[in-house]
Amino acid sequence: MLGAPFGERLVAAGRTRGRLCVGIDPHAHLLSAWGLEDSVEGLERFTMACVEAFADTAALVKPQVAFFERFGSRGFAVLERALADLREAGCLTVADAKRGDIGSTMAGYADAWLSDTSPLCADSVTVSPYLGVGALRPVFDLAEKTGRGVFVLAATSNPEAVALQATTDGEGRTVAQRVVDECATINASAHPGGYGNIGVVVGATLATPPRLASLSGPVLLPGVGAQGAGASDVAKIMREAPELGFANVSRSVLQAGPNVEKLREAVLNQVAEFG
């Protein structure tokens, strides 16, 4: 158990480091741009440079699990080291795994990413609610037990999602709004009057985002920087609870690599814009 709920710890980190989430996305194109081989060795050099640059500059760091998973067990070993090093440095992390299933399988995913004893343990994890928000109960329960966090995909920034997530239910709510509302109910029950462990992902590029006033949990906002959204878009979406909104940047920072100091400078420049 980590003490304060994840939401409270993330808000505190945002006050001291700025409200920014920085991605570690070692895909093949970026490895090449950094002059690295598309191999485990290249993956490790890329990742460790990011850890060194981000550990004391970003409030939240988000390794994209897929780019480690494609190298199998050796890739996961690099991810384990990165998560451990960031944790030791006092930097909060979110494993961008986007897991979603039911029953004991979801419980297994919860253990993998949020259990104290797991080598892949992160401060939070992204999950998909499209088997039903209620199916995610095992990860919500473990997050509550350990003081870790969960970011539920609600209204994502990719264009393919709009037709599904903007669909309305029998009560006139969009699917995205229903996801937010169900997460808000969980936070209100577990942490009345405070910040809870359950957050959502809402694309900063969206013209009509879901209402977030009652969530009382953190919001991860992808789509800024290279995808076109800016600080004003983030501020508009988070106008009722700005302290809970964390702009997610990746390419606009990672293009500064492989030099660690330039990466660090890129983070601080983004913090000045979004923090």
> Which candidate in 62, 98, 145, 236 is catalytic?
98
Copy the structure tokens of residue 88: 């030791």
- Is 262 designated active site? no
Residue with tokens 């979406």: 237
- 99 vs 97: CA distance, rounded Å: 5
Enumerate residues 6+ apart whose C-beta is below 8 A from 189.
none
Can you say whether the dihedral through the CA atoms of 16, 18, 21, 27 is positive or negative? negative
CB 208 within 8 A of CB 159: no
112 phi, psi to nearest 5 deg: -60, -40
Residue whose structure tokens are 């299933």: 101
In whole angstroms, what is the distance from residue 258 CA to residue 263 CA?
Answer: 7
Tokens in use for 77?
Answer: 């070993």
Dihedral-angle region of residue 18 (phi above 0 means left; psi in -120 to 50 means alpha; beta otherwise): left
Contacts from 232-236 at CB under 8 Å and sequence distance 24+? 233/204, 233/205, 234/204, 234/274
Residue type, 245: G
In whole angstroms, give the CA distance from residue 210 to residue 136. Answer: 20
Catalytic residue numbers read: 98
